[in-house]
């Protein structure tokens, strides 16, 4: 874990380089992530909304880091997800509604 101070310019540079991993290794991110995990009692928020209680594994950016870097440290842009919900978020096929 690094003590690098997270700034928007730094995040933008990471995105431009194609490697956002250093962001996820900062103390600031890890502190925010742990705050979210504690607030959600380590339960997946999507499962809990369906009255299923599953251990949360990943603190996920609802609006993705690469598209919305200004929300990288916004607590309200985070949700705690289990492994399956996080996988489905990134890999499940998306169906566009057409009327």
Is residue 42's pLDDT more than 70?
Answer: yes
State residue 3's pLDDT score.
Answer: 65
Cα(36)–Cα(78) distance, integer angstroms: 8
Residue 22: the pLDDT is 96
3-state secondary structure of 78: strand
Confidence class of residue 68 from pLDDT cuts 50, 70 and 90?
A: very high
How many whole angstroms separate alpha carbon 56 and alpha carbon 8? 27
Per the prediction, the chain carries an average pLDDT of 93
What is the structure's pLDDT at 95?
64
Residue 55: CB partners within 8 Å, gap ≥ 6? Answer: 42, 43, 44, 82
């Amino acid at each position: 874990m690094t003590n690098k101070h997270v700034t928007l310019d730094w995040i933008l540079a990471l995105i431009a380089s194609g490697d956002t991993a250093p962001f996820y290794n900062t103390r600031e991110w890890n502190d925010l992530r742990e705050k979210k995990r504690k607030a959600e009692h380590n339960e997946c928020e999507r499962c809990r909304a369906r009255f299923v209680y599953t251990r949360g594994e990943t603190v996920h950016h609802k609006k993705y880091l690469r598209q919305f870097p200004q929300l990288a440290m916004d607590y309200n842009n985070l949700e705690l997800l289990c492994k399956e919900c996080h996988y489905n978020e990134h890999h499940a096929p998306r169906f566009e509604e057409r009327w």
